Homo-oligomer: A and B are copies of this chain.
Amino acid sequence: MNGGLLLRYYSQPLKYDKVFRDPVLGHIYVEHQVILDLINTPEFQRLRRIKQLGTTSLTFHGAEHTRFSHSLGVYEITRRICDNFQRNYPTKEAGDGLWDDSERIVALCAALLHDVGHGAYSHTFEHIFHTNHEQITQQIITSKETEINHVLSQVGPDFPERVASVINKTYDNPQVVQMISSQVDADRMDYLLSDSYYTGAQYGKFDLDRILQVMRPYSGGICFRASGLHAIEYYIVCRFQMYQQVYFHPVSRSMEVILSHLLMRAKELALKPNSNFKPSLLMPIFENHYSLDDYLQIDDGVLNTYFIMWRRSEDPILSDLAKRFLNRHPFKSAKYDDQTEFLIPKLQEIIEKAGFNPKYYTATDNSFDQPYDVYDPKSKHQNAQIELMENDGNLVELSQASDLVKAITGKLIGDKRFFFPREMLKPTKNVELFQPLYDEFQKYIDNDNLIIPKEN
């Protein structure tokens, strides 16, 4: 088969759709051979073994859903956007700002693959080992070693690069880029709906159909018909609620602290001179000298398997943290602010006296996000702001049209927390010995907050 025929073969519709049943979106329709082949690569199948929300399943027990399922969802929502655009806004001539359906394949592939570089318990892993899932996604797509690259190359020799550039936001059609990356993109829409479904949190169920219906292409990318104002508004509120109730949940963050300290401890032990602690699959990462293949071998189950073995380690910290993680014994936490932050060293001192190394048994973490932000040229995260198009073609920025959104625009939501062993509040052993320490510690904690104790 020559290149031209192959391309057509790959990008032409399949005779019958291949359908995946999806609890959130109903059905996922695969209409092109290239998408089916991408799904069947080892690199993509690996996403079945990486949970979408990491340690959140330890708080919301239903949230075992995977990056695999999310990636299919982002693909499907992108497909629906393309369908709507093609039906209602097909381009008539170059530069008219309408939708050119020959962009469909690149958009669908980018949507499907945008998360393919995610590692085990991804955010924690990245943080500790300085890996970067976005770079790895680029590599998986463009490196000649991967099956994904092989499949993409059959569409065209420069096709892998084009797909990578969409994910990288350097692709020249802003409509395609914004489908995947903007404040109302297929990625966020899928994760809000999915995370809401699998956690049972009820707060992320915005009206997807209505948003798809009012979404439209224009020369600057993607905007929304003004009649969709309330649907967008509700989406922003849902996002806000999901951050507050799910993504920033203190117990999940506490389990992340434990996970991260556990990996940090393991790395230290493994890199010690003459150590015979050499967890084979992790060594390349510990030594910061790993191939793509090394990276792709690690998933959530591999880490858990090491933790199971480390429970019996002779290192008491490694063993204890592994048990806390596997048996789900979270640290406790308390909120602090600028006024109380100075107390933390004092508290760490008490904790140390009670027998816990603060390096491994305490942490601070702040989780903040903005539910919606208008364009700010200085911002690191340049999220395109949300634009509404009135009947006469005029654009209005969302917060100008919605009192509710204006009220929350640019607001940072979240909190700063200090994490410490629950034994400081509910001692389980050595109770008598350490009671004075516990008593002192508890003076600093009130109703989930660090406080400055009253003078006696």
Contacts and interface: CB of A to CB of B under 8 A. Distances in A.
Nearest to A308: B297
Given A61-B72, A244-B230, A199 B301 contact: no
Instruction: Give the 7 A-B residue pairs with the shortest CB-CB distance, closest first.
Output: A301-B301, A23-B200, A407-B407, A305-B305, A64-B64, A23-B62, A42-B327
Contacts of A72: 61
A364 B26 CA distance: 33
A205 interface: yes
A209 interface: yes
Contacts of A24: 62, 200
B69 A61 contact: yes
A207 interface: yes
Given A64-B66, A213-B27, A390-B447, A45 B326 contact: yes
Interface in A383-407: 390-392, 403-404, 407
A441 interface: no
Nearest to A43: B327
Interface residues of A, number: 76
A75 B195 CA distance: 24
A209 B51 CA distance: 28
A210 interface: yes
Given A202-B205, A234-B203, A323-B42, A23 B302 contact: no
A42 B46 CA distance: 28
Contacts of A42: 323, 326-327
A452 interface: no
A413 interface: yes
A356 interface: no
A328 B45 contact: yes
A376 interface: no
A21 B200 contact: yes
Contacts of A165: none
A199 B297 contact: no
A60 interface: yes
A13 to B, nearest CB: 9
Given A21-B199, A45-B327, A205-B205, 12 more contacts: A21-B201, A23-B197, A23-B200, A40-B327, A40-B328, A48-B57, A48-B61, A49-B304, A61-B68, A61-B69, A64-B69, A198-B198
Interface string A17-28: 101111110110
A19 B210 CA distance: 10
A332 interface: no
A23 B404 contact: no
Contact of A240 (B66, B69, B197, B404): B404
A411 interface: yes
A58 B20 CA distance: 11
A24 B197 CA distance: 10
A438 B262 CA distance: 53
A100 interface: no
Given A22-B200, A304-B301, A392 B447 contact: yes
A198 B407 CA distance: 30
A37 interface: no
Given A45-B326, A308-B297, A65 B68 contact: no
Contact of A62 (B45, B65, B88, B200): B65
B392 A403 contact: no
A198 B326 contact: no
A20, A203, A240 — most chain B CB neighbours (10 Å): A203
Interface in A26-60: 26-27, 40-42, 45-46, 48-49, 51, 57-58, 60
Nearest to A237: B237
B301 A27 contact: no
Nearest to A371: B404
A171 to B, nearest CB: 28
